[in-house]
């Protein structure tokens, strides 16, 4: 397992590996055949991202974990290796076109062709009424949650198109299909993720590439604890059914694994809600 910083020159990386500056298993490039696919998980250092990476490690030859927190990415990569898959941790900003192009290139160079892409990175913003919502926070949410998803789709699909196959799962939210008081930036960004999912699915519909979205409800994670804490402080109610417990990151990861598998070969452009029925309550 090693840690790359997006944009780092591959020749320099090889030199560091050779001199012991950092540890990386340098594998042969996977060129297809019967070997399991290589998986890429953005936002892989977070609670849901970690669960996705570990679940995909059970069905992949290798898993690349991209996160802006290098320590978190490295910790997940170690868990992936313990699960039996090769791993690569990369520190990157998904909202940067340059860094996205670099980490996609690094994954394919170091691990092999990307067969599964969990486009999962995202941030929550703040809880505030729309008329008080900070402009800079709204802009940041669009940069990470929308542009980051767009860039991931753009660069990974371009690679998958060369092979004509692949599975992409975007992490949206039940906020993609409903409004939520106090979450203007988050709700707008997740509606956009669902729109990008459906558009990308149509763009690749004549290939064996599939693009779907998973829509988690409240999940036990740092993000939901942060949002619920802000809501309590601001007296804004985040509507949810008290009778339905929060989900677990593993619940989301299991649906991602299904959508990445051959069992979902005819599933494209779909929005899979994972919320225990909360949106119906």
Judging by DSSP bridges, how do beta strands 208-216 and 86-91 pair with one another?
unpaired
Would you state the torsion angle of the CA atoms of residues 62, 221, 188, 146, taken in this order, to the nearest 10 degrees? Answer: -20
DSSP calls for 174-243: GGGSS--TTBHHHHHHHHHHHHHHHHHHHHTTTTEEEEEEEEE-SBSSHHHHHHHHHHHHHT------TT
Catalytic residue chosen out of the listed positions 186, 213, 249, 252:
186
Instruction: Tell me 271's DSSP state.
Output: E
State the Cα–Cα distance between residues 126 and 112, nearest whole angstrom: 38
Find, among 217, 220, 168, the residue nearest to 47 by Cα: 220
Cα of first residue to Cα of last residue in the chain, in angstroms, is 44
Question: Where are the extended beta strands (E) located within the chain?
Answer: 3-5, 38-42, 62-67, 86-91, 114-119, 165-171, 208-216, 271-274
Determine whether 133 is an active site residue. Answer: no
Beta-carbon contacts of 263 under 8 Å, excluding residues fewer than 6 positions away, are none
Give helix then strand counts, H and E, for the chain.
9, 8
State the Cα–Cα distance between residues 145 and 147, nearest whole angstrom: 6
Which residues are identified as catalytic? 186
């Amino acid at each position: 397992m090693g840690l790359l910083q997006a944009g780092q020159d591959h020749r320099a990386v090889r030199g560091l590996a050779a001199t012991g500056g950092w540890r990386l298993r340098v594998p042969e490039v996977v060129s297809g055949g019967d070997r399991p696919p290589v998986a890429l998980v953005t936002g892989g250092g977070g609670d849901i991202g970690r669960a996705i990476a570990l679940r995909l490690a059970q069905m992949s030859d290798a898993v690349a974990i991209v996160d802006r927190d290098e320590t978190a990415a490295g910790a997940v990569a170690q868990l992936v290796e313990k699960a039996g898959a090769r791993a690569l941790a990369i520190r990157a900003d998904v909202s940067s076109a340059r860094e996205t192009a670099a980490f996609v290139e690094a994954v394919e160079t170091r691990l092999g062709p990307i067969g599964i892409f969990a486009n999962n990175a995202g941030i929550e913003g703040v809880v505030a009424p729309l008329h008080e919502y900070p402009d800079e926070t709204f802009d940041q949410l669009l940069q990470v949650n929308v542009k980051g998803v767009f860039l991931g789709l753009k660069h990974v699909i371009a690679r998958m198109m060369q092979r004509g196959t692949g599975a992409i799962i975007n992490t949206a939210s039940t906020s993609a299909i409903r409004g939520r008081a106090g979450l203007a930036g988050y709700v707008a960004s997740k509606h956009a993720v669902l729109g990008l999912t459906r558009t990308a699915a149509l763009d690749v519909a004549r290939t064996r590439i599939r693009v779907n979205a998973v829509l988690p409800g409240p999940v036990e994670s740092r993000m939901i604890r942060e949002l619920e804490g802000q809501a309590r402080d601001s007296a804004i109610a985040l509507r949810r059914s008290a009778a339905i417990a929060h989900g677990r990151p593993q619940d989301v990861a299991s649906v991602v694994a299904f959508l990445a598998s051959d069992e979902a070969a005819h599933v494209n452009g779909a929005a899979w809600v994972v919320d225990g029925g909360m949106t119906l309550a």
